[in-house]
Amino acid sequence: MLRAVSYNIHSGRDLWWRKRLHQMADTLKELNPDIVGLQEVHQNSKYGYQASFLAEQLQYQLAFAPSIPIGNGHYGNALLSKYPLKHAKTVTLPAKREQRTVLQAAFDWNGKSVSVWVTHCSLNQVSRNAQLHFLAEQIAGANKTPLLLMGDFNAANVSFSPALHDSARICNQEMKHTLPAFRRRLDYIFASDHWTIQDYTLAQVNWSDHVPVIVDACLK
């Protein structure tokens, strides 16, 4: 069984902007995931090297996808993995204003190469629609490899069907809110047909404005 977690860490702060990075690390340790997709994570001198800190705390491999330059570093998405990562790259998404990216990487699991992508789509609807269309095109070109796509999509009712399946819908959990204070589901983990989704849960912690999304899956 592979456990995947997607978590928008809100720059390591909670809804009231209090620093919560250490509590986030403790929660991730307790969840014991195989892979973690992070959004709104800093890797710079101004706000801290948060991706590196979490990777070090968990003793996981790290890949970071810069989206916005800040200080002498960036702000963007990250992937933490128990397993060595390969072919990690940052792909720029179409955007009118604030730059967005998708981190694409792979690792070997149970004798197979598995792809995992981490992204954070725009608040602007026009940009977001263009990004979802772009991601759908990318998915169409990656249909031979087991794929997990996770992140904050900043929209309800996101779908990449039939290429990818919404793990929450498979488990009849799509009414659960991943942004609890605003009663919205913005965070998703999508899986290709190669996967059987065994469980979908949310970690009810308030270290960020979002909660971690947890999916347990196995290859068919």
Taking domain 2-219, whether its CATH number is 3.40.50.1220 is answered by no
Q: How far apart are CA 56 and CA 190, in angstroms?
A: 27
Residue pLDDT tens, the chain, 220 long:
999 999 999 999 999 999 999 999 999 999 999 999 999 999 999 999 999 999 999 999 999 999 999 989 999 999 999 999 999 999 999 998 889 999 999 999 999 999 999 999 999 999 999 999 999 999 999 878 999 999 999 999 999 999 999 999 999 999 999 999 999 999 999 999 999 999 999 999 999 999 999 999 999 9
Q: How far apart are CA 133 and CA 217, in angstroms?
A: 26
Amino acid at 93: L
pTM, 2 dp: 0.97
Q: How far apart are CA 24 and CA 116, in angstroms?
A: 21
Tell me the domain boundaries of the chain: 2-219
Cα–Cα nearest to 190, from 33, 2, 6, 1: 6
Contacts of 195 (CB under 8 A, 6+ apart): 146, 148, 165, 217, 218, 219, 220
